[in-house]
């Protein structure tokens, strides 16, 4: 299982993914980043890739 922080910026079309070790730190980072980007200019979330 792999955990990633995903940042999508709508104005520039950039997608950034950062690997994380645990979900608590990923969720904390999502909350921090969400407060620092203008409303409706991007999307931040945690994504779990369970592999197949």
Q: Find out whether 16 and 6 touch, Cβ atoms under 8 Å.
A: yes
**6-37 per-position pLDDT tens digit:** 999 999 999 999 999 999 999 999 999 999 99
Q: How far apart are CA 22 and CA 25, in angstroms?
A: 6
pLDDT band at residue 50 using 50, 70 and 90 as cut-offs: confident
pTM over 0.85: no
Q: What is the pLDDT of residue 3?
A: 94
More confident residue, 2 or 9: 9
What are the distances in angstroms from CA 33 to CA 4, 9, 10, 42, 49?
14, 12, 15, 10, 21
Q: What is the pLDDT of residue 52?
A: 66
């Amino acid at each position: 299982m792999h955990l990633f922080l995903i940042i999508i910026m709508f104005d520039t079309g950039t997608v950034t993914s950062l690997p994380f070790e645990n979900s608590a730190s990923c969720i904390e980072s999502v909350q921090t980043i969400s407060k620092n980007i203008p409303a409706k200019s991007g999307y931040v979330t945690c994504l779990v890739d369970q592999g197949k």
